């Protein structure tokens, strides 16, 4: 498994990340293939969110090699990652609370708009035509996520489960090559989880998004993902298809908290 295989979208090789003396990630290697749903799981503090932050360029690892879309990368800002086609949602919803659902999703299109802010503000001529084009994409996402009824509701007024859905919508609006989901189902009830699972699977199958997700609900993870990587204390302890990972004694030990 290396970056030379054409179906690999992202590969991490021997990545290590430390904050001062604290090692968040130690010597971790794995890859994400095009079109798959890849789960990253592990107990609290295992380094999952740090790993997501490394992937989208928020943290730069001290050691290791990252290759995205065939290009090796060293140091980059999250905005560059976004431009390269990496979108993400956050553990705690990070939306513009005062803006409507539609406007929030439209912000996901911003990188795709070629006219500058001046023309956008003027809403005239080519900028207007462009906005209509982008609005169409957003409307398709609204239809896809079944949130027509809240199109014009400020997201601050929405219940948590719907805010999560809007956040997914904004990430999808970027038409990302890689979609990072940080605990997309945290704090949801069973029905909301089922809905969200459906949207993730559909985003993957229908819209062809490659997805990497962190999730605590192991049942959901095993149902959704094609492959699972398991972290513990910043190290990789398993990496395989769900059925194998499920019966891996190391994984079971990590989750049951057995000392070793």
Q: Which spans of this chain sit near other proteins (rule: CB under 8 A)?
A: 102, 135-136, 139-140, 142-143, 146, 148-149, 151-152, 202, 206
Read off the tokens for 101. Answer: 């659902």
Nearer to other proteins, 149 or 258 (CB): 149
**Which residue in the block uniquely carries the two structure tokens 């900028």?**
127
Which lies closer to other proteins via its Cβ, residue 80 or residue 143? 143
CB environment 88-125: b (16+ within 10 A), e (fewer): bbbeebebeeebbbbbbbbebbeeebebeeebeeeeee
d(CA 110, CA 56): 18
Distance of closest approach, residue 44 Cβ to other proteins, in angstroms: 36
Q: Smaller CB distance to other proteins: residue 67 or 104?
A: 104
The CB-of-141 to other proteins minimum distance in angstroms stands at 10
Residue 152 CB, nearest distance to other proteins (Å)?
A: 8
CB of 207 to other proteins, least distance (A): 12
Rounded least distance, CB 194 to other proteins, Å: 14
Report the residue number, 80 or 146, with the smaller CB distance to other proteins. Answer: 146
State how far the Cα of 237 lies from the Cα of 255, in Å rounded to an integer: 12
The DSSP string of 226-247 is SEEEEEETTEEEEEE-HHHHHT
Is residue 52 within 8 A of residue 214, CB to CB? The reply is yes
**Residue closer to other proteins, measured from CB, 148 or 194:** 148
């Amino acid at each position: 498994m290396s970056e030379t295989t054409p179906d690999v979208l992202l590969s991490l090789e021997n990545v290590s990340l430390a904050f001062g003396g604290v090692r968040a990630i130690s010597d971790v290697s794995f890859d994400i293939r095009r079109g798959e749903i890849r789960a990253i799981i592990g107990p609290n503090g295992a380094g999952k969110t740090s790993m997501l932050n490394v992937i989208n360029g928020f943290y730069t690892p001290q050691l290791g090699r990252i290759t995205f879309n065939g290009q090796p990368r060293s140091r980059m800002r999250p905005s560059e990652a976004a431009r390269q086609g990496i979108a993400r949602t956050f553990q705690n919803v990070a939306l513009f609370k005062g803006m409507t659902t539609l406007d929030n999703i439209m912000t996901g299109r911003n990188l795709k708009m070629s006219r500058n802010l001046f023309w956008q503000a003027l809403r005239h001529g080519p900028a207007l035509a462009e906005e209509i084009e982008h609005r169409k994409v957003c409307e398709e996402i609204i239809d896809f996520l079944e949130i027509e009824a809240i199109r014009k509701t400020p997201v601050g007024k929405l219940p948590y489960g719907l805010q999560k859905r809007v956040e997914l919508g904004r990430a999808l609006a970027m038409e990302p090559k890689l979609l990072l989901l940080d605990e997309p189902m945290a704090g949801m009830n069973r029905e909301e989880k089922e809905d969200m699972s459906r949207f993730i699977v559909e985003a993957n199958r229908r819209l062809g998004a490659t997805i990497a997700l962190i999730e605590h609900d192991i049942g959901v993870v095993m149902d959704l993902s094609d492959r699972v990587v398991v972290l513990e204390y910043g190290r990789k302890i398993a990496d395989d298809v769900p059925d194998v990972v499920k019966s891996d004694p190391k994984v079971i030990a990590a989750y049951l908290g057995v000392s070793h």
